Amino acid sequence: MSSRVTLALFVALGLGACGEPPAPAVAPKPLLAPPPPPQAAPSETPDAPFRQQAPAPDGNVTFVAPKIEPFALKNGVKVLLAERHDLPIVGVRLVIAAGAGDLDGARPGSLSFLGGMLEQGTKKRSALQLSDDYEAIGAAHGAWLDWDSGGVSVKVIADKLDAALELMSDVALSPTLPEAEIERLRARRIAAIQSEKSSPSAIAQNTIAAAIFGRAHPYGHSLSGEEADAKKLTRAELVRAYGRLFVPQNATIVVAGDVTRAALAPKLEAAFGSWKPGAGGAISKKGPKAPAKVAAEKRVVLVDRPGAQSQIQIVRPGVPFSTKDRDAIVVMNAIFGGMFSSRINLNLREKNAYTYGARSYFSMRHGAGPFAAGASVVADKTIPALKEVFTELEGLRRDGPTEAELALAKESIRLAMPGRFETVGEVASAVADLVVYDLPLDEYEKRPGRIEAITAEDVKRVAGEWLKADAMTVIIVGDKAALAPQIEELGLGAFEERDPYGNLLNLAPQPAPKK
């Protein structure tokens, strides 16, 4: 019986295995319909209607100079206010109208170091607490000291102005200059100075300062000074410099943005009203005297960088900001090397392909800063490039500018002016310049007209005075082995060699090797 049951079970299993296959599983319907096939984009040719006519320009931007309202706090601190209510933002600058070029006896680099120390701790706050408190109100802030000025700045949303002014006054009026922060900044300063040895442009700037002013002159160093200066700088020196500079007699508070005088005055009194005048009085802003003659004026200075392309600069002492010919010199420099279409850039870049760009500038300070014209050039084109710069010097002196050059330079200067006033921070910076350089409050209203009045004869006259080839020093940062035999081609006689910081290496100029 059991065998028959077993046989029946096997037969049933076999028949099951030979039956119809199971129906295939039905795929689930997709949740999203598949995207339609891509459609060909309509082709547009250069003949499409919107290309038929170039869009018309909107016209030149109309420059409207800020209206500046002066007043003073009860303690005599001067205030300049430029209201601007398009955005709820206020920019404030406490401006000290004296700097590294004005403070007699200051160690090179000490003033810029002091500027970096102002936000490193106060009687109320550590450096980190200051940073946190500024961040809590969303403020942009800073402190600085340069050749002609220094100070503290803040930019903040208008309803946080009280808090911003309290922080700003804390930084300006009660910095503690802690030793630990001095050592931290000293290490950073030394590292930055050491890194300049690998920067041809920094080497050139150091050499310009030393070669045309001499180490005894305040302008004979970079703002950072040398490594030895950073190592020897003491806290006592910083305290003396701070006490001499940061007094109400040297200060003006510049405010730009969404605030009225009625609202601003009590806020400033609360923040700065307790500031007492210092004993030393205001510092003169005349700047240092012109340098004594440190070497033959027409000469070549070489800094050796083996295997490198050349950094060339043709330099001389320039003019102070107060010069009566300032506007004419600005226009002349624009034509010579101050804009892309300048003579030396079109020559060295566009015509000869010696460089990516050439430029010139007058560094106008309280005293006469440097004039420099130059570029980074292909090493084997160093001497030809220098010859071309001298050719352009002589050409502008001899012939003056063309009418097209003059018109373009004046237009470029005038059209650039609105860009200085786009933000409240930029407005405050521009107004601060009026303080630093003793300019009238309507300077920016009148400047476009003065620029437009400059003539070709004005440009030729100042070029004749300030672009004299015989007064120039040639700075070359490049491969001495390759360049020394070529220097004779310049006809400037012997050359002197300096290190990357501008210090003289050979006591007497070396004659250029004969070919």
Do 234 and 324 lie in a common domain?
no
Contacts (Cβ under 8 Å, ≥6 apart) of 251: 77, 78, 94, 95, 96, 97, 151, 275
Verify that 97 and 197 share a domain, yes or no. Answer: yes
Q: In what helix (H) or strand (E) does residue 314 lie, and over which residues does it extend?
A: strand 310-317
Q: Answer with the one of 272, 290, 317 that is the final residue of a domain.
A: 272
Q: What is the pLDDT of residue 38?
A: 72
- The reply to whether 255 and 112 lie within a common domain is yes
pLDDT recorded at residue 71: 98
Q: Give the contacts of 362 (CB within 8 A, at least 6 positions apart).
A: 318, 319, 329, 330, 333, 369, 370, 371, 466
Residues 319, 258, single domain; the answer is no
Assess if residue 392 is contained within a domain. yes
Q: Is 288 inside any structural domain?
A: no
Residue 469: which domain range?
299-418+438-497
Q: Is residue 158 part of a domain?
A: yes
Give the model's pLDDT for residue 297.
59
Q: Are residues 313 and 382 in the same domain?
A: yes
Which of the listed residues 204, 237, 272 is the one where a domain comes to its end?
272
Domain count, the chain: 2
Is residue 486 assigned to a domain?
A: yes
User: 361 and 403 share a domain?
Assistant: yes
At 104 the pLDDT is: 86
CB within 8 Å of 453: residues ≥ 6 apart: none
The pLDDT assigned to 32 comes to 61
Distances (CA, A) of 319 to 10, 368, 396: 116, 4, 19
- Please check whether residue 256 lies inside any domain of the structure: yes
Residue 512 in any domain: the answer is no
Tell me, yes or no, whether 89 and 151 share the same domain. yes
* Residues 354 and 462 grouped into a single domain: yes
End-to-end CA distance of the chain: 126
| 242 and 365 assigned to the same domain | no
Does residue 160 sit in the same domain as residue 236? yes
33 domain-assigned: no
Question: Residue 287: its pLDDT value, please?
Answer: 79
Do 111 and 103 form a contact (C-beta atoms < 8 A)?
A: yes
Does some domain include residue 220?
yes
Q: Name every residue whose Cβ is closer than 8 Å to that of residue 92 and which is 6 or more positions away in sequence.
A: 153, 154, 155, 161, 164, 165, 168, 253, 254, 255, 256, 428
User: Are 212 and 97 part of one and the same domain?
Assistant: yes
CATH for 78: 3.30.830.10
Q: What is the pLDDT along the chain (515 residues), one digit of tens a residue?
A: 444 444 444 434 443 444 444 555 555 555 566 677 777 666 665 667 777 788 887 777 788 999 999 999 999 999 999 999 999 999 999 999 999 999 988 999 999 999 999 999 999 999 999 999 999 999 999 999 999 999 999 999 999 999 999 999 999 999 999 999 999 999 999 999 999 989 999 999 999 999 999 999 999 999 999 999 999 999 999 999 999 999 999 999 999 999 999 999 999 999 999 998 876 677 887 778 776 554 445 789 999 999 999 999 999 999 999 999 999 999 999 999 999 999 999 999 999 999 999 999 999 999 999 999 999 999 999 999 999 999 999 999 999 999 999 999 999 999 999 999 999 999 999 999 999 999 999 999 999 999 999 999 999 999 999 999 989 999 999 999 999 888 888 887 778 999 999 999 965 555 554 44
Residues 370 and 256 grouped into a single domain: no
